Amino acid sequence: MSPSNSSGGEALCRVAVLLFPGADILDFAGPLEIFSHASHNKNPDAPQPIFSAATAGRPGQTSIPTGHGTLLIQPQLSIRELLDTLSTFDVLVVPGGPLQVIQTVVGQEDGLELEVIKAFFKLGPKEGGGERIMLSVCTGAYLLGAAGVLRGLKVTTHHRALDGLKGVCDKDGIDSKTEVVGGQRFVDAGIVKDGLRIVTAGGVSSGLDATLHVVELVKDRDTANYVAGLTEYERRQV
């Protein structure tokens, strides 16, 4: 996992996906699907990828619930390795999960997951210039809120979790001035500080639309629409 260029010489946009036990499968598989099909040459038989994506999690396999079952995923990086190489990543994806899972992640004694979010927030522009993007899907926004990076921003999350997110952002009784809105597939809060954009998606499948938006930001609308067509996905704004 070293910074590298695609064969055509255009720099790859490097995506890190934070995994934790109990994360919702579509919250991270949706973005991975979209990133995997975004290519420079629009030839599905010989794509020239725009993104590379690496998963990062606690050591060992990460268990992802699938109803009365479990999917075991081996993250490519440990969270500590991600922290050590964080400045080489351009996009950070933070999936969600059931609230008890999110609470467990927030309550981790070593606080590594929140540390990744805080550290990515502080990075500044990409090496070589240009914005980085932090994307939460579903209740992944709670992790951003708990890390304190949503202050003063307009954001969204799963429709059942809107009030809860506001509470997470206003922790310790301090009004975060975070505006939590519903009824949208995603909210792009824009450039929230030098070199960083924050995009929050609504629930689960909304992550597909939010990721297509990221493709549009990193490349162009034509490419995002191409990926939507290839995956037979109809883009939605609401």
Residues annotated as catalytic are: 138
Nearer CB in complex with a second copy: 50/153: 50
Q: How far is the CB of 235 from a second copy (least distance, A)?
A: 11
3-state SS, one letter per residue, for 163-222: HHHHHHHCHHHCCCCCEECCCCCEEEEEEEECCEEEEEECCCCHHHHHHHHHHHHHCCHH
Tokens representing 70 are 């479990």
- Which residues make up the interface to a second copy (CB under 8 A)? 4, 6, 12, 15, 24-26, 29-30, 32-33, 35-39, 44-45, 47, 49-55, 61, 65-74, 76, 98-100, 158-160, 185, 202-206, 208, 230-234, 236
Nearer CB in complex with a second copy: 24/114: 24
Q: How far is the CB of 6 from a second copy (least distance, A)?
A: 6
| Separation of alpha carbons 187 and 130, rounded Å | 20
Nearer CB in complex with a second copy: 26/82: 26
Q: How far is the CB of 144 from a second copy (least distance, A)?
A: 18
Q: How far is the CB of 194 from a second copy (least distance, A)?
A: 28
Tokens representing 165 are 């997110």
Nearer CB in complex with a second copy: 38/141: 38
Tokens representing 235 are 């883009």
Among 90, 31, 86, residue whose Cα is nearest residue 56 = 86
For residue 132, give the 3-state DSSP assignment.
Answer: strand
